[in-house]
Structure 1
Amino acid sequence: MAEPHPNPAAARLRTLLARPGLVMMPCCFDALSARLIEQAGFELTFLSGFAASASRIGAPDLGLMSYGEVRDQARNVLEGIAIPMMVDGDTGYGNAMNVMRTVEGFARAGCAGVMIEDQVAPKRCGHTQGKAVVDREEAYDRIRAAIEARGRADIVIKARTDARRTHGLAEAIRRAQTFAELGAEMIFVEEPLSEEEMRTICAEVPGAQVANMLEGGQTPILPPARLEALGFKVAAYPLAALSAAMRGMVATLEALREGRDHTPGLMDFADLRQRLGFDAYYEAETRYARKE
């Protein structure tokens, strides 16, 4: 078999997963949010489906975004950062053949990893109402297809199960165990309801376990040191950046509408320019102007 299409970002992600300690993964929704995550010193980000749907089409995460839209969003984000980024592949956007195309496409776009889940399409945010999962064999086939695609274009496979809510913890663990046996490197059991359930998942499921720290969701929000002690390898913060941005914008716009001073919550203009790269651009512009 030919060697898979190389992907340096996947190699960097595997290096992060192999070293000791918890990997913090704030999630982005566009190039700007990803750049701020990188500037804050984080070494990994994830293009959240929830946040990307809100940012790109102004709609809830209910399976409305297409594969092409998500891949385009991922490419835009990757152009603005140097750290590896994972991406939400939802259910793979169809059958096993679609899953393969999805996984290979994200790998060739430069994504470090892709998440494939076992929800019924169209999927829903893991902590909202109305979600359901496919049967075991269909769930396993999605991961088998993802692993096969990884053989053509290298990428880290993150397998997710949402079976905890509808089928109970034991079924979710069984699915997660099989995902790991099939070759998924990262495992995500969505919506454990207690710290004890989180401990059980880490004890019984192999692979790099992901904790989803969704503020206001069903899973307890624990400090990083506690997550690491339980056995988690990655802590994802899917909506922290989006929620903070939305709250700030709403407050500023309300102040403008009401005629109040809206400036206290704003970033200093000099800091804004520096973070966006104006200073670096001007420095390079001056350097090349001298040569000319």
Structure 2
Amino acid sequence: MAFRKRREALRSILSGSACIRAGSVYDPVSIRIAEDLGFELGMFGGSVASLTVLGDPDITLITLTELAEQMRRMSRASTLPVLVDADHGYGNALNVRRTVQELETAGAAGLTIEDTLLPQAYGAAEPQLISTEEGIGKMKAAVDARSDPALVIMGRTGTRGGGPSATSFDDCVARAKAYEATGVDALFFTGLKTRKELETISAATTLPLVLGNAQGELDDPAFLVHQRVRIALQGHTPFAAATLAVYETLRALREGVPPKDLKGLPSSQLTGRLMRDADVKLRLAEFLGLKR
């Protein structure tokens, strides 16, 4: 299949002996930047998807179609493997099957399915969790839905996410073990704060682990590797930085600064490289008879 190599690359990361830092990507330009800088993996988060496509906060307003279409745009622009935050699978277990099918055809190397009740229930200030039984059903549906066995499915639990969604640590471990038994390829956690928590989860499971945050005492690559953590995310600061850059540039232009006096603009060489200008010129010469 066209995307098999990308998925095999992600599987190599999960089966390897290192803990890598994924680059946060959200559009064709950002994924090309990450690829050119040598990142082994891109992470397409739900929050940046919502901001990029809708300009809305991460409250599950984005649809599956919009998420998959943005992933498709990135897949066309780059061969970098991408792990997609598929939230709750956009519905029940049958919706999860559809989510997996759409993201698979869009070129995702892997995706995460979580056990959060989304969108937020009426009167609930924070997201809540679905039952363990429903979570198991979603993980089974996700595994069953893929047609390419190389596609990576990660089971994610929000048990340590804080607020009403946080449950006991024992529940976190129990869900991790239950989701592992469904046949998912890795386990994804957010909200872990101590080495003891990570050590306990690592001892109770056998799958590769992914952390949504690795701060404080968990910010230790050697320790993470020893606990079978293969991917540690760093948030979505590239989008935040890009937002500030656009804001400051537009503000300066609005205040009358001439474009030639603006600071922090990319060189024509960088812009040309990100547009793959050399490849385009070759095609213009070959297919349209234009001189290089």
- TM superposition score category, shorter chain reference: 0.7 to 0.9
Distance 1:168 1:259 in 2: 56
1:88-127 alignment, distance < 5 Å? 88-122=85-119
User: Partner amino acid for 1:45?
Assistant: G
User: Partner amino acid for 1:105?
Assistant: E
1:237-256 alignment, distance < 5 Å? 237-256=234-253
1:49-198 alignment, distance < 5 Å? 49-122=46-119, 130-150=126-146, 152-154=147-149, 155-164=151-160, 165=162, 166-198=166-198
Residue 266 of structure 1: aligned partner: 265
| Equivalent residues of 1:190, 1:212 under 8 A apart | yes
SS at match of 2:74: helix
1:46 aligned to 24, 43, 47, which one?
Answer: 43
Please give the per-residue CA displacement for 1:84-109, whole angstroms capped at 9, x wherever unaligned.
21222211111111111111222233
CA 1:179/1:197 → structure 2, altered by over 3 Å: closer, same or farther?
A: same
Please give the per-residue CA displacement for 1:157-188, whole angstroms capped at 9, x wherever unaligned.
11100012320222112111211121111111
- 2:26 aligned with 1:29, yes or no? yes
Distance 2:216 2:212 in 1: 7
SS at match of 1:182: coil
Q: Which runs of 5+ in 2 are unaligned?
A: none
SS at match of 2:117: coil
| Equivalent residues of 2:88, 2:116 under 8 A apart | yes
- 2:284 aligned with 1:280, yes or no? no
CA 1:115/1:177 → structure 2, altered by over 3 Å: closer, same or farther?
A: same
Which moved further from structure 2: 263-272 or 91-100?
Answer: 263-272
SS at match of 2:88: coil
Deviation, 1:250, is 2.4
| Equivalent residues of 2:118, 2:127 under 8 A apart | no
Deviation, 1:134, is 0.6
| Equivalent residues of 1:173, 1:201 under 8 A apart | yes
Distance 2:174 2:18 in 1: 26
CA 1:119/1:63 → structure 2, altered by over 3 Å: closer, same or farther?
A: same
- 2:212 aligned with 1:233, yes or no? no
Which moved further from structure 2: 197-206 or 82-91?
Answer: 197-206
Distance 2:210 2:180 in 1: 13
| Equivalent residues of 1:101, 1:149 under 8 A apart | yes
User: Partner amino acid for 1:58?
Assistant: G
SS at match of 1:21: coil
Deviation, 1:31, is 1.4
| Equivalent residues of 1:108, 1:153 under 8 A apart | no
SS at match of 2:180: helix
Which moved further from structure 2: 7-16 or 155-164?
Answer: 7-16
CA 1:213/1:263 → structure 2, altered by over 3 Å: closer, same or farther?
A: farther
SS at match of 1:183: coil
| Equivalent residues of 1:117, 1:160 under 8 A apart | yes
Deviation, 1:32, is 1.2
Distance 1:274 1:63 in 2: 35
| Equivalent residues of 1:91, 1:120 under 8 A apart | yes
Please give the per-residue CA displacement for 1:233-282, whole angstroms capped at 9, x wherever unaligned.
11223402212212222232333334457622222232222222123322
CA 1:17/1:273 → structure 2, altered by over 3 Å: closer, same or farther?
A: same
- RMSD across aligned C-alpha pairs, in angstroms? 2.8
Deviation, 1:13, is 1.7
What's the TM-score, normalizing by structure 1?
0.85
Q: Which runs of 5+ in 1 are unaligned?
A: none
What's the TM-score, normalizing by structure 2?
0.85
SS at match of 2:58: coil
Which moved further from structure 2: 265-274 or 278-287?
Answer: 278-287
Deviation, 1:207, is 0.9
Distance 1:5 1:28 in 2: 21
User: Partner amino acid for 1:279?
Assistant: A
Percent pairwise identity? 29
